[in-house]
Amino acid sequence: MTALTQTLGILGAGKVGTGLARQALLAGYRVLIAASGDPKNIDLIISVMAPGAVAASAAQVTAESDLIVLSVPLHKFRSLDPAALTGKHVVDTMNYWRDTNGEMPELEDAPSSSEMVLAHLPGALLAKSLNHIGYHELELDARPTGSPDRRALAVASDHNTTRAIVLEFVERLGFDGVDAGALANGTALEPGTPIFTGTFDMAGIEKELLAQLDAGVERQLSASLG
């Protein structure tokens, strides 16, 4: 365990947040979880769904955590405090679902959902990952390092240190981490993509990343040539 990643903070106490908390506790992290409002309101939920995690305020999570997971519904991203997340290593696990999130005009104007989030949190050291695995699969698919059937998950970020920290987090959760490069490459992990809908080992996800990113370059060239 590195000094950089001893405490994990999770903003969001739903199925994804508590599922990540359970795996992180198994991996040796101290885990803080916050929802909106008084931490006492989620004490019982946390004690049942993620025994060992601590129900905390959002302020405590952002102040004490070495890595912070964003696990709120995407349409609530503007409730996140930009000042509190400035300079923090943050991983965005959120996805856009029309039935849940409704219409989001700002998403239509953004290159990707994570870049939309970053525009609201310009000081955060943001990565995109853990959005392309179901919360139930976090426990079912986790495997020890070196297992031949170990699943891979990708990490995209503009910050090398943040990307390394999140890759380590993914590894410790029980998955092979794959460096997806810049945050903009997170489009290859979004709902509807092969990576989102499929299950891959390291070689498979690297192949899919290359294919999707190459296709994106071709689309940009076609658009620029008019």
C-alpha distance from residue 25 to each of 18, 22, 38, 51, 118 (Å): 10, 5, 23, 9, 28
Count of residues in the chain: 226
* Cα–Cα distance measured from residue 218 to residue 148, given in angstroms and rounded to the nearest whole number: 34
Higher pLDDT: 223 or 82? It is 82
Average of per-residue pLDDT values in the chain: 92
**H or E stretch including 128?**
strand 125-128
Q: For residue 87, how far is the Cα from the chain centroid?
A: 17
SS3 label, residue 216: helix
Q: What is the pTM of this model?
A: 0.91
Q: In the sheet where 152-157 sits, what is the strand order?
A: 54-55, 30-34, 7-11, 67-70, 89-92, 125-128, 152-157, 176-179
Which tokens go with 50? 């993620």
pLDDT at 223: 46
What pLDDT, in 10s, does the model give residues 183-221? 999 999 999 999 999 999 999 999 999 998 777 655 554
- Cβ partners under 8 Å of residue 109, min gap 6: none
